[in-house]
A and B are shown apart, each in its own frame.
Chain A
Amino acid sequence: MSDFIFLYRNSPAAREAAMGTPEQRQKNMQRWMAWMRDLEGKGHLKSAGQPLDRSGKLVRGGSKAVTDGPFVEAKDVIGGYSIIEARDLAHAAELAKGCPALDGAEGSVEVRPVMKLEM
């Protein structure tokens, strides 16, 4: 078993819609709960990670200039992350297919193996 990070991405508009009304928020929350419970139940959830707020700051290299989020110019923003245990990358990608981030066409899950650095 190896560790993989799932980076949940979505367009700012889709995120906005999912969190719009209390009903949508609740429905969205329930979808994510079911997804996390499923991963947990099958022993794949190493850490559920955390959802991320839409706002933020961006600190750029060189000048160390600080600009405000929420990155309106970006096509998609990272909405959160989890750490998943899977056999291999293909298995991890298969698991990602159940993610509620994929409910809309603009959502995506970036599946990245944790790199083991050796000295």
Chain B
Amino acid sequence: MPADLHEHLFRHEAGRMTASLTRLFGMQNFALVEDVVQDAFCRALEIWKLRGVPPNPSAWLMTTARNRALDVIRRERTARTFAPEVTRLLETEWTAAGVVAEAFSGDVVLAEQLRMMFSCCHPDLAEPAQIALILNILCGFGAPEIAAAFLTSRAAIEKRITRGKRVLAGSSTLFDLSDADFAARLSAVHRALYLLFNEGYHGASTQGAVRAELCEEAMRLTALLRDHPVTRTPATFALSALMALHAARLPARIDAAGELQSLWEQDRSAWNHALIAEGQELLDRSAAGDELTAYHVEAAIAAIHAAAPTLEATDWNAIVTLYDRLMAIAPSAVVALNRAIAIAQRDGPDQGIEAIERIADRERLGAYPFFPAALGELERRRGNVGEARTYFGRALQLARSDAERRYIERRIETALR
């Protein structure tokens, strides 16, 4: 059995098993939960090596974890207090096996994964900590993998996860989806998944494979939100649409030589058209209700790009209008910069530079390499080669990864020849 097959399988099952086991054992016994998950994986490796992979490995793993949970409950029920809702029912053989079986049934596994996701987005935790926890608990990523994805030290990530788990253990049960804070917590979950996706899409990690995986995980978890009636909101659909429409461009973002390709130079035939269609459909479904979130607008912008056969044939007027709307909902210097670039496409480089000069909090873009790169590009189009060169030089100094550095170098080579 290839190693990456079970790595993939184990990762996804880890989140499901962890959620069910936590429902039974309670947050205070999270270390025991992790032991049982680990134990199920070890058994799988041992037995599958001898007898081969079973036809439904994910069901096999869940059954193993379920049986193991019942063993642990029988052995430890006098010594431990399990989850408060079920602790009495786990004390007796009248109900123990039934309660365990219930925790591993399909609807409950989904609901518990969502409760876990909501719990990870605790307001006492900063967003990077929330994301690290989600990756660790729901996606089965270890600290070294998370550290590699975020270009942080393993020790820093371990600290983040440990502190996060302490905050989780502070409440005896997982976040309840019927809680009064539900709406606020759902937007925190959306935000964390959005950031996770962006880390994969734009992130600094140079390993393309790591980044694609972050995008996949963000999409998988957002799809879980779509599967549950309580979390299936228009904003969830919009976020899902946004991810699908961006992910569709992933195959063209990195070319055959491993070089980063901007939207301007991407081979549009390499876009994933099935994902574009899916994203479009999700975007249509997000239109229910009267709430217009930043995800809706960003997805709509991505949809226009995805629908355009060429860069020139893009409906820039619609894109500028959408950026205007985005500035009204969620203004930021980066959004303003993207709006200025769209204006330059629609009206010409003079108008683009004017729009950039009008960005109120321009200094916030000081460390962002694509800010001087955009100015360089527009100056070049105006014919100011000297100024363009200066801007590109500054962009090169700000580049955060080799991929970005090579990308800017290529721009200098082709644009200023």
Contacts and interface: CB of A to CB of B under 8 A. Distances in A.
A29 B91 CA distance: 15
B93 interface: yes
Contacts of A19: none
Contacts of A51: 93-94
Interface string A43-69: 001011111000000000000000000
Interface residues of B, number: 11
Interface in A23-45: 29-30, 32-33, 36-37, 40, 45
A37 B90 CA distance: 11
B94 A32 contact: yes
A40 B99 CA distance: 14
B89 A40 contact: yes
A50 B91 CA distance: 9
A29 B98 contact: yes
Interface centre among B91, B92, B99 (most CB of A within 10 A): B92
A23 B94 CA distance: 17
B262 interface: no
Given A40-B88, A45-B88, A50 B95 contact: no
A50 B96 CA distance: 10
B97 interface: yes
A113 interface: no
Contacts of A49: 92, 94
Contacts of A36: 89, 92, 94-95
Nearest to A82: B94
Contacts of A30: 98
Contacts of B93: 50-51
B91 A33 contact: no
A32 B88 contact: no
A67 B89 CA distance: 34
Contact of B97 (A29, A47, A48, A82): A29
Contacts of B91: 47-48
A48 B92 CA distance: 6
A18 to B, nearest CB: 13
Interface in B79-122: 88-89, 91-95, 97-99, 102
Contacts, number: 39
Instruction: Classify chain A's interface size.
Output: 10 to 19
A36 B86 CA distance: 11
A40 to B, nearest CB: 5
Nearest to A29: B98
A33 B88 contact: no
Interface centre among A32, A33, A49, A51 (most CB of B within 10 A): A33
A80 B92 CA distance: 11
Contacts of B94: 32-33, 36, 48-51, 80, 82
A47 to B, nearest CB: 8
B5 to A, nearest CB: 32
Contacts of B97: 29
Contacts of B89: 33, 36-37, 40, 48
A98 B39 CA distance: 40
A49 B89 CA distance: 10
A79 to B, nearest CB: 10
B67 to A, nearest CB: 16
A49 B93 CA distance: 8
Contacts of A80: 94
A45 B91 CA distance: 12
A107 B88 CA distance: 25
Contacts of B88: 40, 45, 48
A32 B99 CA distance: 11
Contacts of B102: 33
Contacts of A45: 88
A49 B95 CA distance: 10
A24 to B, nearest CB: 14
A93 B98 CA distance: 26
Contacts of B99: 33
Given A32-B95, A51-B93, A82-B94, 12 more contacts: A29-B97, A30-B98, A32-B98, A36-B92, A36-B94, A40-B88, A47-B91, A48-B91, A48-B92, A48-B95, A51-B94, A80-B94
Interface of A: 29-30, 32-33, 36-37, 40, 45, 47-51, 80, 82
6 contacts: A33-B98, A36-B94, A48-B88, A48-B92, A49-B92, A82-B94
Question: Nearest 8 A-B pairs (CB), nearest first?
Answer: A48-B92, A33-B98, A29-B98, A33-B95, A36-B95, A50-B93, A48-B94, A32-B94
